[in-house]
Amino acid sequence: MIFKPSLIIILIIVFILVWLFANTIDKRKWLSFLISLVLTPIVYFYVLYPLMNIFSSYHHEKHFNVKNWKNSPALRYEMSHEIIQEELFLGKDKQQIEALLGKSEWYGWDDRIKENSKDIWNYNLGFKPGAFNMNQECLELNFEKNKVVKVKQYQLKKEFE
């Protein structure tokens, strides 16, 4: 475990709250301190930490790697930030993209021609972790003259039965 200032502040807050609760049970300070000292890590790891993970949208980020992209399609969202921010695929042609990402999983809709276009490639990135997340992350690559000109990430709402 890495002790960062934010973790230490949260642990101090949890300790104070447990201390205040223990003081309502027994007025002896040494006993309240001992109970608080023992219960603070338990309350943090079994109550507060799971709640923070359920309601926060934090997820790990990884560098783009072709092997990981192809072997772990459900975890592609971890690489999406770097793909978008670093503009890794802008200017690459369709053969280069197919070598890196594989064949397009589906073609996107083009309003100009009123049908799916072979110049709009989409890839599934998986689901970001979270208790109430029902949205599938997707990556869209737009081609013009066989070169990538736009890369965007969007979400599809999924219905589970």
* Amino acid 161: pLDDT: 64
Q: Judge contact between 91 and 147, C-beta under 8 A.
A: yes
Q: Is the pLDDT of residue 59 over 80?
A: no
CA 105, chain centre distance (Å): 21
Confidence of residue 58 (pLDDT cuts 50, 70, 90): low
For residue 36, being part of any structural domain is answered with yes
**3 state SS of 71:** helix
Domain match, 137 and 78 both: yes
Confidence of residue 160 (pLDDT cuts 50, 70, 90): low
Domain match, 116 and 49 both: no
Domain match, 39 and 95 both: no
Q: Please indicate whether residue 129 or residue 24 has the higher confidence score (pLDDT).
A: 24
CA–CA gap between residue 12 and residue 96 (Å, rounded): 52
Q: Is the pLDDT of residue 55 over 80?
A: no
Q: Judge contact between 107 and 122, C-beta under 8 A.
A: yes
* Amino acid 1: pLDDT: 61
Helices (H), the chain: 5-25, 29-43, 49-55, 66-71, 77-85, 94-101
Interacting residues of 13 by C-beta distance below 8 A, sequence separation 6+: none
Confidence of residue 6 (pLDDT cuts 50, 70, 90): confident
Q: Which domain holds residue 47?
A: 5-55
Domain match, 47 and 117 both: no
Domain match, 46 and 21 both: yes
Q: Is the pLDDT of residue 77 over 90?
A: no
For residue 42, being part of any structural domain is answered with yes
Query: What CATH number is associated with residue 128?
Result: 3.30.1450.10
For residue 27, being part of any structural domain is answered with yes
For residue 117, being part of any structural domain is answered with yes
Domain match, 74 and 49 both: no
* Amino acid 80: pLDDT: 87
* Amino acid 31: pLDDT: 87
Total-model pTM = 0.66
For residue 60, being part of any structural domain is answered with no
